[in-house]
Structure 1
Amino acid sequence: MSSVISELPAMDATRFQHTPFYCEENVYLLCKTLCENGVADATASDLFVVFISNEKKQVPLWHQKASTRADGIVLWDYHVICVQRKKESDSEPLVWDLDSTLPFPSPLPSYVADTIQPSFQLFPEYQRFFRVVHAPLFFKHFASDRRHMKEPDGSWTAQPPPHQPIVSQDGVLHNLSEYIAMSSADTLASLDPETLREAISQKLGVLVSHTQLQDLFTKLP
């Protein structure tokens, strides 16, 4: 495993399937691939899918490939990344963001510093919230029929991925809106072990603020 970890910084994001504006499906496939190629645990126990959004559905993130600015800032309605946390390792959690210009993957602290830029003063309505969902539960429950990417006349706002839409194991066709619904009132008040253990076992995981995100990954059971 140590040889695999040492190779991670050199990994090429283009080896993974990526369809612009479909980050939730990109991350779904990314997690599956990491499990299949041995970079992640085969059961995805060390992977977490992280949705980033807010009530305004306007979240500023830096160092994004879609940006036309030198600082790489984009105002997404929501974004999705994967965070890998290996229990047996002392190394920092790793962020896999297919839309980022940062190293792939990036250690969580540097990703937060460069992409979230918590020291940058934002108006309250632009603060970012993070829904952290354990990947095995995401594989089981997530569904998207891509309706959010269609105009009223049925045309696509962006060309969809070539694969079939993702259907949940119990047959649900679309629940993306549940994952990106975020409010400051729903963030965890405490990161105590019992609260975290219960929250991370839920379909929609746990919602935290940007000030809690790194702490969360040090305290997950």
Structure 2
Amino acid sequence: MQEVLLVEDDELTREATRLTLEERGYRVRTAADGLTGLTLFREHHPDVAVLDIMLPGLNGVSLAGRIREESGVPVLLISARNDPVDVVMGLEAGADDYVTKPFDGSVLVARIRSLLRGTATVEQSGPEGPRLRFGDLEFCPVSLTVHRGGKPLALTATEMKLLREFAAAPGTVLSRDLLLERVWDYAWSGDTRMVDVHVQRLRSKIGRDRIETVRGFGYKLRP
């Protein structure tokens, strides 16, 4: 049974979300503040963390950053505000996705399933296979291992899925909408901030000049 850490200070939202997730077969641990959430994360190592942005003690953005420093576990932010600044700050801190309140329980579950499918892909990768080379970057699409300059890189599941899409078509421009559909498994209301932030995070690890921006179209991996 996969475990969800839910950190939400509003009791009604927390309990309704917990019940929804448990009905879908997840084990759920809850916390009402960021510091307690961080403690639970360290003690129980959940499969995914769902964090409200506005939390007492340690807010959701800071908590996402702490989790990302220690783990590649997927992080999903929830917020009553759709302020682009809050969204981008959360994504840059290390979150993989976000949902705006009020949200339908089925939407939240779909987002969680998408994030967990990415994690399973990385964890269930098979033996080493052929390696693709792009400059000093080496990527094995079978074992999902990445090396830069001969040194292994630690990518999150979302970053790995992005790199896999780029590596499958080097030199080909991939639109933001296409990446949203393939990496997050659904067409996501045309909001491309998600892609932009994650591409920036991937660039910081594999080399900023390795992924080229094609203005007005999207991104491509330089062969």
Q: Which has the higher strand share?
A: 2
- For normalisation by structure 2, the TM-score amounts to 0.28
Greater relative contact order structure (CA < 8 Å, 6+ sep) = 1
Going by fraction, where is helix more abundant, 1 or 2?
Answer: 2
